[in-house]
Structure 1
Amino acid sequence: MGYNIAVVGATGNVGQEMLNILAEREFPADEVFAIASRRSLGREVSYGDRTIKCHDIEQFDFSKCDFALMSAGGDVSKEWSPKIAATGCVVIDNSSAWRYHEDVPLIVPEVNADDIAGYTKRNIIANPNCSTAQLVVALKPLHEAAGIKRVVVSTYQSVSGAGKDAMDELWNQTKGIFVTDEPEPEHFTKQIAFNCIPHIDRFLDDGSTREEWKMVAETKKILDPKIKLTATCVRVPVFVGHGEAVNIEFEREMSADQARDILREAPGILVVDKREDGGYITPVECVGDYATYVSRIREDSTVDNGLAMWVVSDNLRKGAALNTVQIAEAMVNRGLVKPRETV
């Protein structure tokens, strides 16, 4: 007997990736249901080599499902996740709605899979921010080896992290510039084509943005509350794939060669680090892959026990859809959720 899965927000970028990944990884599902708003009722979406029709979230019976993979935004999740969880269906949410609740586990399976057991308090598990997910996958094995004191990270985040409308804006602005149409920002605060915008999410009182605050708070919750982290998050004119320049200060000595060897053995990571032209991974090369790639590993002589590295991942996959499916897989493998018998 397999599991019944509801993908909520199935018409969005991440929802469609969830459906793709469930099929690619051959998740043990008997039924997969695409769920969206009423205006998308009956719309067809792809699930592997099949086409399935969307159900209306307000009319759908979640009691027949074992998992609900949520990617419909924070407001929808705040309203619907508790209702869905109350039916006995485990909610794995991709929004920021539940990440900072003490009684909701925030999970990256390669990093803190044991924390999944805390899901029973609300029957909800949170998925971290896309930029945090790839970062902590790379930090975890190094932290275990030498103890991380401080991290300075600058992100180069693709527009897909802001949704389909943001991707359309980059495409339309790029085309328009070549025919001398003046770019008109709509989704972004400034022109995104051929530009970089050091502003993701809203500004906070201390001058940081909420995206930067998320990386700090989530890294502490997932990995270690003692780690000090500062982030500068930048939106760049790339469609898919986030890059991060990461500087790490350790408690104990860690050479570049040691770090390279440790990362090569770590789950979810591929090291591509040749000190030659093209001997590193860029965002366009990671699209469609499951791995978090690490390149440019080198020692930082300006601090004791310092390293710098470059981290790249497909934000729609590891940063969102893949991580969500991996959480469900971990629950199945640990026997935490059994398929419900349906009449």
Structure 2
Amino acid sequence: MPFTFAFLPGIVRAHLFGGIEPPPIAQGERNTMSKKLTVAVVGATGAVGREMLKTLHERDFPATEIRAFASARSAGTKVPYGDKELTVQELKEDVFEGIDLAIFSAGGSTSQKFAPHAAKAGCVVVDNSAAWRMDDRCPLVVPEVNAHALEGHNGIIANPNCSTIQMLVVLKPLHDAVKIKRVVVSTYQAVSGTGQKGIEELERQVRDLFNGRDPECNTYPYRIAFNALPHIDVFLDNDYTKEEMKMVHETVKIFEDPSVKVTATCVRVPVFYCHAESVNIETEKKLTAKDARVMLSQAPGVRVVDNPRELMYPMPSYCVGEDETYVGRIREDETIDNGLNLWIVADNVRKGAALNAVQIGEELIKRDLLRVTDKNVFLK
């Protein structure tokens, strides 16, 4: 009988495909923002767009109306929002009047074309693409790390790369305490980072291999099933990939510290959800592994799972659907005086994209910054 994913136990399918629900949000942790808003999700039919809608609903985001936008091809389709469905509207330049906040996850070219028109209409944009990340006019924000950067925004705020977000949520408290000099990171990135097409390619290739068929490679240059590809995004003149250099440049911008040196190797692995990272840091001052565990256990958005003697450490299969960034395998680097090794895992679709964007929206409301002071900055 041919292999099908339906044969897998339910809990395994849940871990593979993101079916595990995040822990319920305690009532006291729900936002109590009273102002009611109109919020748009642009790219609502994609994997991240759907997760954004889910996250907005779960966190009781104070919106009287949620609007879903996508390309003309998807207009008229339905997307879930809580126990209701939203009808997807076609994205056009004139749809942003009366919208307070638009969260974009529709790709860089779409963001470059439409985000300036949203800002001109007085709508604040949080963009998940790479289009605006290194633009000096746009803050690049991880709320647990540099929420202050939202002050004085010009209407477009950039969501960092997924791999950068989870690394810096963990490294920021350490950097504040002992000053990080150098970071060496190797990533193990899930196929959902490529979108729905990456998920479908891995699923299809696994099924083909189990059934004795040669798998086709459409999304990746080589087979991703039962393989690892040291190649994410395009190769640059320095032989690094664009994904690797994103981590370098985004870290400097978010930390506001050009003295921090970062080198990265980014690898695509056959996991559906959750990126993992092996991170080595060198610091100016000594920090023991024990003190680092205590410090990180008190850091916002971080959960420490670090008891290797009991085989307790973060893994992608345990972090699907979770809001926190997990860290474990915390140990001192025995080759240098002031060094630590860490293993960091987070849901790349949730904290690495949707949740971080929604948290930026929450922070804008909290700081009374949900407004555009100069509506023509990006159309001049």
- Asked if TM exceeds 0.5, the reply is yes
User: Counterpart in 1 of 2:291?
Assistant: 258
Q: Residue 105 of structure 2 contacts residue 128 of structure 2 at CA under 8 Å; is this kept in 1?
A: yes
Partners of 1:293 and 1:285 lie apart in 2 by: 10
Partners of 2:250 and 2:198 lie apart in 1 by: 24
Tell me, yes or no, if structure 1 residue 143 matches structure 2 residue 175: yes
Partners of 1:124 and 1:54 lie apart in 2 by: 23
Compute the displacement of 1:39 (Å).
1.2
User: Counterpart in 2 of 1:91?
Assistant: 125
- The residue type equivalent to 1:93 in the other structure is D
Segments of 5+ residues of structure 2 without an aligned counterpart are: 1-34, 373-380
User: Counterpart in 2 of 1:218?
Assistant: 250
Tell me, yes or no, if structure 1 residue 290 matches structure 2 residue 323: yes
Which of 319, 329, 335 is equivalent to 1:302? Answer: 335
SS class of match (2:348): coil
Q: Residue 123 of structure 2 contacts residue 371 of structure 2 at CA under 8 Å; is this kept in 1?
A: no
Write the deviation string for residues 252-299 of structure 1: whole angstroms up to 9, x where unpaired. Answer: 000000100000000000000002243011011111110000010000
Which of 227, 235, 238 is equivalent to 1:206? Answer: 238
Q: Residue 96 of structure 1 contacts residue 129 of structure 1 at CA under 8 Å; is this kept in 2?
A: yes
Which of 53, 56, 79 is equivalent to 2:87? Answer: 53
Aligned length: 337
User: Counterpart in 1 of 2:312?
Assistant: 279
Q: Residue 93 of structure 2 contacts residue 114 of structure 2 at CA under 8 Å; is this kept in 1?
A: no
User: Counterpart in 1 of 2:14?
Assistant: none
Partners of 2:92 and 2:369 lie apart in 1 by: 28
Tell me, yes or no, if structure 1 residue 62 matches structure 2 residue 96: yes
Aligned-pair identity in percent equals: 54
User: Counterpart in 2 of 1:176?
Assistant: 208
SS class of match (1:211): helix
- The residue type equivalent to 1:276 in the other structure is R
Change (3 A) 1:303 1:12: same
User: Counterpart in 1 of 2:21?
Assistant: none
- The residue type equivalent to 1:154 in the other structure is S
- The residue type equivalent to 1:188 in the other structure is Y
Tell me, yes or no, if structure 1 residue 165 matches structure 2 residue 197: yes
Which of 53, 58, 79 is equivalent to 1:24? Answer: 58
SS class of match (1:62): coil
**1:177-196 alignment runs, 5 A limit:** 177-196=209-228
Write the deviation string for residues 163-198 of structure 1: whole angstroms up to 9, x where unpaired. Answer: 101110000000000111112211001100000000
**1:222-237 alignment runs, 5 A limit:** 222-223=254-255, 224-237=257-270
Which 10-residue stretch deviates more, 223-232 or 12-21? 223-232
Partners of 1:35 and 1:259 lie apart in 2 by: 43
Compute the displacement of 1:59 (Å).
7.1
Q: Residue 38 of structure 1 contacts residue 58 of structure 1 at CA under 8 Å; is this kept in 2?
A: no
User: Counterpart in 2 of 1:108?
Assistant: 142
Compute the displacement of 1:60 (Å).
5.7
- The residue type equivalent to 1:158 in the other structure is A
User: Counterpart in 2 of 1:131?
Assistant: 163
- The residue type equivalent to 2:325 in the other structure is T
User: Counterpart in 1 of 2:229?
Assistant: 197
SS class of match (2:336): coil
Tell me, yes or no, if structure 1 residue 77 matches structure 2 residue 111: yes
SS class of match (1:233): strand
- The residue type equivalent to 2:319 in the other structure is C
Partners of 1:186 and 1:145 lie apart in 2 by: 46
Which 10-residue stretch deviates more, 54-63 or 180-189? 54-63
- The residue type equivalent to 1:168 in the other structure is E
Write the deviation string for residues 186-235 of structure 1: whole angstroms up to 9, x where unpaired. Answer: 10011000000000000001110000000000000001221001000000
Partners of 1:188 and 1:141 lie apart in 2 by: 36
SS class of match (1:276): helix
Partners of 2:212 and 2:102 lie apart in 1 by: 46
SS class of match (2:309): coil
Partners of 2:94 and 2:59 lie apart in 1 by: 26
TM-score, normalised relative to structure 2: 0.87
Partners of 1:180 and 1:25 lie apart in 2 by: 45
TM-score, normalised relative to structure 1: 0.97
Write the deviation string for residues 31-70 of structure 1: whole angstroms up to 9, x where unpaired. Answer: 0001011111110001111111101112762111100000
User: Counterpart in 1 of 2:73?
Assistant: 39
Segments of 5+ residues of structure 1 without an aligned counterpart are: none
Q: CA RMSD in A?
A: 1.1
Q: Residue 57 of structure 2 contacts residue 82 of structure 2 at CA under 8 Å; is this kept in 1?
A: yes
Tell me, yes or no, if structure 1 residue 269 matches structure 2 residue 302: yes
Partners of 2:176 and 2:282 lie apart in 1 by: 13
Q: Residue 38 of structure 2 contacts residue 65 of structure 2 at CA under 8 Å; is this kept in 1?
A: yes
Q: Residue 104 of structure 1 contacts residue 118 of structure 1 at CA under 8 Å; is this kept in 2?
A: no
Change (3 A) 1:60 1:295: same
